[in-house]
Every structure is written in C-alpha cells, then in structure tokens.
Amino acid sequence: MKKFLLAAVAVGVVITGVSADTAKGVEKLAKQYGCSGCHAVDKVKAGPPYRLIAKEYKGKPNAKETLVKSVLGGSMMKWQKIGKKYKIKVKMAYMPAQHGVNKEQTEKIIDLILKLDTK
C-alpha cells in the first residue's frame, strides 16, 4: 500500500510537471513567433487564451489542420461566438494572417497548444 501511494505521488508530480512545461513551452514559442501581443495561455487579450482554444478543439477531427490554417491564413469572427460559450469576450474580431511564421513553426506551436491541460 505504501509503495502504491508513493508511486501514485510520483506519477502526480510527473504529470503536473509535464503540463506546466507545456504551458511554458507555448508561452516561449508564442513570444518568439510574435503572438504574445494578442495571446496568452490563460488570459484573454485581443485574442482567445490558448487553453480555451485547446478546450474548444481538442478531440475534434482536423483540429490541427483547422488551427494551422487560421494562423497562416487569418481567422475572422469565430471567437465572437465561441467566446460566449466560455463567457469571455475576445477584443478583436479577427486575426490577421501571420507572416512571421512558416508552416513548420505553426504546426509546432499548434501541437503544443493542443497538448495544454484543459481540465
């Protein structure tokens, strides 16, 4: 029993460690890629928080493709409606196409965003 408890605690530490790292990784890439002016992991800025984006899209078919396309091609008015569901108000109605990132970089940050803990 004691061994089991110790193992459970160890797993808990590892899991929370990983999710904190994911959030940190997202913040770091977002800063590097010029997204931080409009996005944060947990705060509403001009754009929706990354954690809510993860919550909205996790498990949906083509989540990654959809989001990569939004970043590279721009996205308009989606979050006026989605935001209501989560009781947030996104300040800007659209995200301009992001030219500071290429497809690989965009896929990298989207992969990480979709790994954010959404519980």
Residues that bind ligand HEC (CB under 6 A): 33-35, 37-39, 46-48, 53, 66-67, 70-71, 75-80, 90, 92, 94-96, 98, 101, 109
Cα–Cα distances in angstroms (integers) from residue 56 to residues 27, 53, 77, in the given order: 19, 5, 15
What DSSP element (H or E) covers 95? strand 94-95
**φ, ψ for residue 95 (rounded to 5)?**
-110, 125
What DSSP element (H or E) covers 75? strand 75-76
Residue closer to ligand HEC (CB basis): 39 or 51: 39
Residue closer to ligand HEC (CB basis): 8 or 24: 24
- Other beta carbons within 10 angstroms of residue 101's beta carbon come to 19
Find the shortest distance in angstroms from Cβ 19 to ligand HEC: 19
Find the shortest distance in angstroms from Cβ 23 to ligand HEC: 14
Residue closer to ligand HEC (CB basis): 16 or 62: 62
Residue closer to ligand HEC (CB basis): 67 or 116: 67
Find the shortest distance in angstroms from Cβ 18 to ligand HEC: 21
What DSSP element (H or E) covers 94? strand 94-95
